[in-house]
Amino acid sequence: MSAQKNESFRWLNDEEQAAWRAYLTASARLQQQLDRDLQQNSGMPHAYYMILAMLSEAPDRGMRMTDLAELLSSSPSRLSHAIRKLVELDWIRKDADADDGRVTWACLTDEGMRVLVEAAPGHVTTVVESLFDRLTPTQVAQLREISTAMLQD
């Protein structure tokens, strides 16, 4: 209040307000759906699935921790804790870098790949049913553009 009294201050207009409410609800529901579904069917949260998925597409199924964190929009700490758990499960292996002693590589194990391959169809079905089956192709393109715009800078 005090900060807003004496400064010109941009509030949300009605259209923005409606969009914001709808977005918050929709994204919260989708996130919960993804997490619940993966937890039930594959015993891991969505964040862990994404780690496996990103590694599976990387050369030799391995990435440097920092690059992986950046790709996943994860903090280094969050990734470090997650990788520790995934190593315990034998889904991921940590390798030292040959050139740079600071760098650790996270690598998908065969077991991790197996788990991912088993989890993927159910997960994708959830994504399709919760999101893409509800949108027109035009809306899918719009969603990509909007999301890209949000990532400017």
Partner DNA sequence: GCGATTCTCTTGAATGTTCAACTAATTTGC
Partner DNA sequence: GCAAATTAGTTGAACATTCAAGAGAATCGC
55 near DNA (CB under 7 A): no
Residue 35 backbone zone (phi > 0: left; psi -120 to 50: alpha; other: beta): alpha
| Rounded Cα–Cα distance for residues 124 and 101 (Å) | 38
Binding partner selected for residue 64 from DNA, a second copy, none, CB under the kind-specific 5 to 8 Å limit: DNA
Report whether 123 contacts 38 (CB < 8 A): yes
Secondary structure string (H, E, C) spanning 99-118:
CCCCCEEEEECHHHHHHHHH
Task: Tell me which of 85, 114, 134, 144 binds DNA, using CB under 7 A.
Answer: 85
Is residue 151 involved in binding a second copy (CB under 8 A)? yes
In the window 8-47, what residues touch DNA (CB under 7 A)?
Answer: 32, 35-36, 39-40, 44-45, 47
* Chain positions contacting a second copy, by CB under 8 A: 1-4, 7, 9-12, 15-16, 18-20, 22-32, 50, 72-73, 117-118, 120-122, 124-125, 127-128, 130-132, 134-135, 137, 139-152
